[in-house]
Amino acid sequence: MKPPRTVASDYAERRARIGARLPADAVLVLSGGVLHTRSNDTEHRFRPDSSFHYLTGLSAPESVLVIRGGASPSSALFVQEKDRAAEIWSGRRPGPEGAKQLTQVEDAYPISSLDSLLCDLLHGAREVHIPIHRDDALRERVLRASRAVARGDRSGAISPTRLVDADVIMGEERLLKDEAALASLRHAVALSALGHREAAAHLRPGSYEYEFEARLEYAFRRNGSTGPGYGSIVGAGDNANILHYVENSAEIQHGDLLLVDAGCEWEFFTGDITRCYPASGTFSPAQKAVYEVVLAANLAGVEASTVGGNINAIHTRCLDVLVDGMLELGLLSGSKDAVLEREEYKRFYMHRTSHWLGVDVHDVGTYSVDGTPRPLEVGHVLTVEPGLYIANDLDGVPDEFRGIGVRIEDDVWVTAQGPTVLSDAAPKTISDVEALVGSAL
């Protein structure tokens, strides 16, 4: 698998598109993110802000990007200065000159000059786009600079009067995958599928959930990924019924079905794949019965991921198949209409079916436009992830189904020719899954 590389001109093109989306009197300001404390005086590995990285390719804490809209949009980048002593302890910094070369921004400055230069950059702007639902520190900084510009009003200065959520414009931009984005995402999904295959090939009863996690993540890292795009979920038996189970600490028993929801990042785009593996190598009849229902729902949901369709319709389509299955399996009784009307299916299927996928696992981009579901377009990428969760302690459930949790999640690219399943290298038919499990032992 040849790894794709997004180059400086790709990032420059994205900034140019954002500049063109911005009104002429608008400025967009994004920060690159900060280091987060893990405990006491140690920190998590730095992960740049998704939109900042999408527009610069830089992974540098304490950076800020400013884009001015209009006929000839331009970008200014503020980064930490080179500092030999700090770099010996905490890693290399590009410095303003290096950042300019790496990103092709028009201007680059030391971050220490942000407050004063921000006043110049906001001068003449009416509208400032910042992420208003996060990053309080940036908002304060922008408001301080804006106030300083406003004080000059009497001498003719034009100062901002509107704060707009930058995630709206960034959501619209990031929803439609450009060529480089698609290449990164495809590679992230391909490596995610590879991790699934390698770990499942070593699965055996008596191993531990964390061993599976370690094999997955070894495959991710060994192939150059920065690592998982979210906490890997590896849940055996009843643990599969905890939707965000990340302890991954239990021993996998003979007869357990192992639910694995894991994906890795490439250039900070992430895959998001869920598969279920029978530890012993074969599905029990009850596991098979549940799995077949979810697989049918997954296939129906993928088929519905077409231009002009929408995420609500995909959910409804999957629900239709799942509810038929729940009635057939005897998990629910009564009429289908009543089950749907009273939402009784939520005992066994309590989440939605799809979300946008991109730099974030639950990516930016609104799900409705003017109150109606957003129609799918060529270039959208979404997940289709129906499931059935039959927790051990649920009342009134046939015994053979207790403790079975199944989700089958694919990453789907909407094209003019129909849905393309990016995650199809991760086996999902019963026979393919059975052939894979334990095949490396």
Task: Catalogue the active-site residues.
Answer: 41, 244, 261, 272, 351, 355, 362, 385, 389, 407, 409
Asked if residues 123 and 157 have their Cβ atoms less than 8 Å apart, the reply is yes
Contact track, Mn ion, 375-414, x by CB under 5 A: --------x-------------------------x-----
Of 213, 261, 363, 434, which one interacts with Mn ion (CB under 5 A)? Answer: 261
Does 208 bind ligand GLY (CB under 6 A)? Our answer is no
Asked if residues 29 and 76 have their Cβ atoms less than 8 Å apart, the reply is no
Cα 122 from Cα 242, distance rounded (Å): 48
Shortest distance (Å) from residue 310 CB to ligand GLY: 18
Residue 201 CA from chain centroid, whole number: 26
Cα 295 from Cα 421, distance rounded (Å): 14
Does 294 bind ligand GLY (CB under 6 A)? Our answer is no
Counting every residue written for the chain, the total comes to 441
Contact track, Mn ion, 283-302, x by CB under 5 A: --------------------
Element (H, E) at 27: strand 26-31
Residue 90 vs 226, nearer CB to Mn ion = 226
Q: Which does 217 bind (CB under 5 to 8 A by kind): ligand GLY, Mn ion, none?
A: none
Residues 232-271 that bind ligand GLY (CB under 6 A): 261
Q: What is residue 269's DSSP assignment?
A: E
Does 272 bind Mn ion (CB under 5 A)? Our answer is yes
Q: Closest-CB residue for ligand GLY?
A: 261
Q: Which does 197 bind (CB under 5 to 8 A by kind): Mn ion, ligand GLY, none?
A: none
By rule CB under 5 A, what count of residues binds Mn ion? Answer: 4
Cα 412 from Cα 318, distance rounded (Å): 15
140-167 in b/e burial notation, b at 16+ Cβ within 10 A? ebbeebbebbeeeeeeeeebbeeebebb
Secondary structure (DSSP) of 106-158: SEEEEGGGHHHHHHHHHTT-SEEEE-TTS-HHHHHHHHHHHHHHHTTGGGT--
Shortest distance (Å) from residue 245 CB to ligand GLY: 11
Shortest distance (Å) from residue 220 CB to ligand GLY: 14
β-pairing verdict for 381-384 and 265-266: unpaired
Q: Which does 239 bind (CB under 5 to 8 A by kind): ligand GLY, Mn ion, none?
A: none
Residue 111 vs 361, nearer CB to ligand GLY = 361
Does 272 bind ligand GLY (CB under 6 A)? Our answer is yes
Q: Which does 380 bind (CB under 5 to 8 A by kind): Mn ion, ligand GLY, none?
A: none
Shortest distance (Å) from residue 357 CB to Mn ion: 7
CA neighbours closer than 13 Å in the CB half-sphere of residue 101: 5
Shortest distance (Å) from residue 263 CB to ligand GLY: 7
Q: What is residue 363's DSSP assignment?
A: -
Q: Which does 210 bind (CB under 5 to 8 A by kind): Mn ion, ligand GLY, none?
A: none
Shortest distance (Å) from residue 262 CB to ligand GLY: 8
Pick from 267, 261, 264, 225: which is nearest to 246 by CA? 261
Which bin fits 33, alpha (ψ -120 to 50), beta or left (φ > 0)? left
Shortest distance (Å) from residue 261 CB to ligand GLY: 5
Residue 6 vs 305, nearer CB to ligand GLY = 305
Shortest distance (Å) from residue 413 CB to ligand GLY: 17
Does 381 bind ligand GLY (CB under 6 A)? Our answer is no
Tokens of 67: 């884009």
Of 173, 213, 217, 385, which one interacts with ligand GLY (CB under 6 A)? Answer: 385
Which residues, in sequence order, are CB contacts of 76 under 8 Å at separation 6+? 65, 66, 68, 105, 106, 107, 108, 109, 117, 121
Residue 28 vs 260, nearer CB to ligand GLY = 260
Q: Which does 230 bind (CB under 5 to 8 A by kind): Mn ion, ligand GLY, none?
A: ligand GLY
Tokens of 409: 């999640």
Does 361 bind ligand GLY (CB under 6 A)? Our answer is yes
β-pairing verdict for 162-165 and 127-130: parallel
Which residues of this chain interact with Mn ion, rule CB under 5 A? Answer: 261, 272, 383, 409
Which residues of this chain interact with ligand GLY, rule CB under 6 A? Answer: 230, 261, 272, 355, 361, 385, 409
